[in-house]
Amino acid sequence: MKKITLLLRLFLLISCQNFGQLKMLGNLPGGLKEVSGNEIILGSELIWMHEDGGNKSKLYAINSSGKIQKEIDIQSKNTDWEDLTSDDFGNLYIGNFGNNYSTRKHLKILKIDKKYLDKKSAEVEEIEFEYENQYKFPPKKEELFFDAEAFFYFKNSLYIFTKSRVKDNYGKTFLYKISATKGKHIAKLMGNFDNGKKIDSWITSADISSDGKNVVLLSQKNILIFTDFKGDNFLSGKVKKIKLNHKSQKEGICFKDDNTLIITDEESGNKGGFLYELKIN
């Protein structure tokens, strides 16, 4: 009876929402209310994800209907985990670089070797970095550009897209590049893009297609698709904007294939906590 009641509540919740052009695949597992990053490793159908800072230091692998298939304890504190990516060899990387007030001097990306993905616990390899153009911690209010919630791996490097905390300039994102190797690095500034003034313009996740031809950035109001860029300056070239009619706190995006995106949002009130799919062509 309890299970029937829960299913009825879920049906009523979904039926009252308009997901716009997003296809709702299922609700996220109970307890995962603050999913902030997701990733599909090439050659696999599992969707890996983690929660935001303050939650458990765990990785979860779910299927396309939202059922947990694996859980891995990560041997590193969840200070502020914000996004997830993978490399060509099946290793995962967690972006521990949330920096709300631009005060963190030792930002980290945690590499999880693929050998741990079939185990219950995983050790990490730390990739530390600092932004080449941050000189004060914190900087002035009009220079609070050093928070980040989005990154991906491409050709032995990691590309980070920052999140602005500057009033009336929230959509401004800067692209930085560091080596995907253990050690301490200086993040090199590559370019920038302005997605708007309001908070719904914040860049909260990113990914690149397996063929390297499409880069996507996620915000609450839209999805940005960059193509025809020069080298690894992904913010150059053409940009297509997909307006999202469905409003929620969207925090994770990744490619399922070169034409299909998987999106997650955080649960807040009667909104969010779902797994979505979107075709981009």
Q: pTM for the complete prediction?
A: 0.93
Question: Is residue 1 in some structural domain?
Answer: no
CATH number of the domain that residue 83 is part of: 2.120.10.30
pLDDT at 16: 44
CA distance 258 to 41: 13
| Any domain includes 3 | no
Is residue 13 situated within a structural domain? Answer: no
In the prediction, which pLDDT does 18 show?
Answer: 54
- For residue 254, what pLDDT is reported? 98
What is the number of alpha carbons within 13 Å of residue 185 lying toward its C-beta?
A: 22
49 inside domain: yes
Tokens of 4: 């029937």
Collapse the DSSP code of 189 into the 3-class scheme (helix H, G, I; strand E, B; otherwise coil) and give the result. strand
CA 13/CA 271 separation, integer angstroms: 8
Q: What confidence score (pLDDT) does residue 269 get?
A: 74
Q: Is residue 12 part of a domain?
A: no
Q: Is residue 72 part of a domain?
A: yes
User: pLDDT by residue for the chain (281 residues), tens digit each?
Assistant: 544 444 444 444 444 455 678 999 999 988 899 999 999 999 999 999 999 998 999 999 999 888 999 999 999 999 999 999 999 999 999 999 999 999 999 899 999 999 999 999 999 999 999 999 999 999 999 999 999 999 999 999 999 999 999 999 999 999 999 999 999 999 999 999 999 999 999 999 999 999 999 999 999 999 999 999 999 999 998 999 999 988 899 999 999 999 999 999 998 877 889 999 999 98
Angle (CA) 36-40-46 rounded to 5° is 100
Classify residue 171: in a domain, yes or no.
yes
Segments forming the whole domain that contains residue 221: 21-279
79: left (phi over 0), alpha (psi -120 to 50) or beta: alpha
Pairing, β 238-243 against β 250-257: unpaired
Q: How far is CA 100 from the centre of its chain?
A: 16
Q: Tell me what pLDDT residue 12 has.
A: 42
Q: How far is residue 95's CA from residue 111's CA, in Å, rounded to a whole number? A: 9
Distance CA 228, CA 191 (A): 15
> CA-CA distances (angstroms) from residue 134 to 107, 187, 189, 194?
12, 10, 11, 19
Taking the CB of residue 240, how many other CB atoms lie within 10 A of it?
14
What pLDDT sits at residue 5?
Answer: 41
Question: Which pLDDT value is given to residue 17?
Answer: 58
φ/ψ of residue 34, rounded to 5: -125, 50
**Number of domains making up the chain:** 1
Indicate whether 14 belongs to any domain.
no
